[in-house]
Amino acid sequence: MSFLKSTGDIIGFLLLSLFAIVEGIIKLFTPLKYRMKSVAGEVALVTGGGSGLGRLISLRLANLGAVVVVWDINKSGIDETVKLVQASGGVCFGYVCDLCDREDVYQKAALLRKEVGKVTILINNAGIVTGKKFLDTPDQMIIRTMDVNIMSHFWTVKAFLPGMMEDDKGHIVSIASLAGYTGIPKLVDYCASKFAAVGFDEALRMELEAEGYSIQTTVICPYFIRSTGMFEDVQSRFVPTLKSNEVADRVITAMRCNEKYAIVPGYLQGMLALKWMFPWTCAAMFLRGLVLDASPNHGVPSPSIPETEVTSIPSKDQNGSALHHQIARRVSSSERKP
């Protein structure tokens, strides 16, 4: 019986795989406008929406008829985004939220549900980069990078996923990076956080599918983006850095088409495959030749600072503004399941 069951499972797997491949080919040749779902009337939360890529995504969602909610630590940036969305005829709400503080995330999530409604589209966009060699990066900055770039995903998803599961409806978008697939000098903490974001998205999707939910997840992995305040000075060869408007358009398209992942530009997907096909020496030489220096302005080691004296550290963030807030803080040991 065990042999027959295993044989049946293999045959079923092959048939379902064939069906999935045919379905993928059909979608590939289906015009884009017929593949995109409507987001009109959906409540969409964009973290780090106070400027840069987050603001561009917010404007596009509002133009498509979504009710947009912006979270950021920058109050003036939030106000500017809300004004721009409203000026374009959209609906937008803004809340100051410290994504490094899970209790603040849970409190603002409860307030959002009360004042706006259930979030059905969650876009985890907020991100920062320090751009220093690993041993030159203060501990607090490493903690900050992980808190903003990945730990905040845990807190926002825990806050809003239960509501999505109640209605078996929702979409979670993680803005990761190609640095979530390849290591780059001076970006050790950043790469680690983006590798984690890619893994978070895939594992969460697998878990939701295994439990029979129709909630969608998408991870976006772009190359270096210009005009976001993070990689303005990156020294890249052969592959041009990306325009933020192009990336914002790709985020919306990927989400509306229920794509599982989107690598930007798309042709780099093939290069990632080659990374595992060739010896590591070849892959490392290629990556070093492609990205000469990811953060030229941070190449000089900074003097060590006693941890007791570090209370606030500015870092370049994904949305083009400097985030300044308390880092040396105590994290509550209590667990909470919203």
Domain assignments of the chain as residue spans, ordered by start = 37-323
Q: Which amino acid is at 268?
A: L
Average pLDDT for 111-123: 97
Which residue is catalytic, options 95, 181, 190, 223? 190
**Per-chain mean pLDDT for the chain:** 86
More confident residue, 234 or 242: 242
- The domain 37-323 having CATH identifier 3.40.50.720: the answer here is yes
Residues present in the chain in total: 338
14, two tokens: 């092959």
Average pLDDT for 276-281: 88
**Does residue 213 have a pLDDT over 60?**
yes
171 Cβ contact partners less than 8 Å away, ≥ 6 residues apart: 120, 121, 122, 215, 216, 217, 218, 255, 258
Do residues 124 and 156 touch, judged by C-beta distance below 8 A?
yes
Name the CA dihedral angle for 48, 50, 53, 58, rounded to a multiple of 10 degrees: 100
Share of the chain above pLDDT 70, in %: 86
Do residues 316 and 129 touch, judged by C-beta distance below 8 A?
yes
**Does residue 283 have a pLDDT over 50?**
yes
Q: What is the pTM of this model?
A: 0.84
The pLDDT assigned to 331 comes to 31
More confident residue, 306 or 185: 185
267 is catalytic: no
Candidates 139, 142, 71; CA nearest to 111 is 71
The pLDDT assigned to 95 comes to 97
Q: Give, in order, the Cα–Cα distances in Å from 269 to each of 17, 191, 265, 276.
A: 21, 17, 8, 12
Do residues 97 and 72 touch, judged by C-beta distance below 8 A?
yes
